[in-house]
Amino acid sequence: MLSIPNAWDGVQQTAAMMQDDILTTRIPIADGPTWGPIEAPGLGVEVDEDKLHHYHDAYLRDGPFLPYRH
């Protein structure tokens, strides 16, 4: 969303219900609504390959995350 002009970013905030993420550092919006400027190359984040494989396996085993599941 940070790289798309005129995007409305408030409607897709799910970080509050996330226990973890596939990034090497904590996702900035987990603690508040402000991401801040991108200060690293690309999108400014680095993917943790081990976490990516862990959550890929969880998806194959358990299916998609459904926030409205009872």
Write the pLDDT tens digit of every residue in 22-48.
Answer: 889 887 777 777 777 888 888 888 999
Q: Could you identify the residue written with the tokens 């798309």?
A: 4
Q: Is 34 left (phi over 0), alpha (psi -120 to 50) or beta?
A: beta
DSSP code of 23?
Answer: B
Which residues does 58 contact at the CB level (< 8 Å), separation at least 6? none
CA distance 45 to 35: 12
* Closest-CA residue to 46 (of 23, 69, 30): 23
pLDDT one-digit tens code per residue, 45-70: 899 999 999 999 999 999 987 766 65
pLDDT digits (tens, 9 = 90+) for 7-28: 665 555 666 667 778 889 887 7
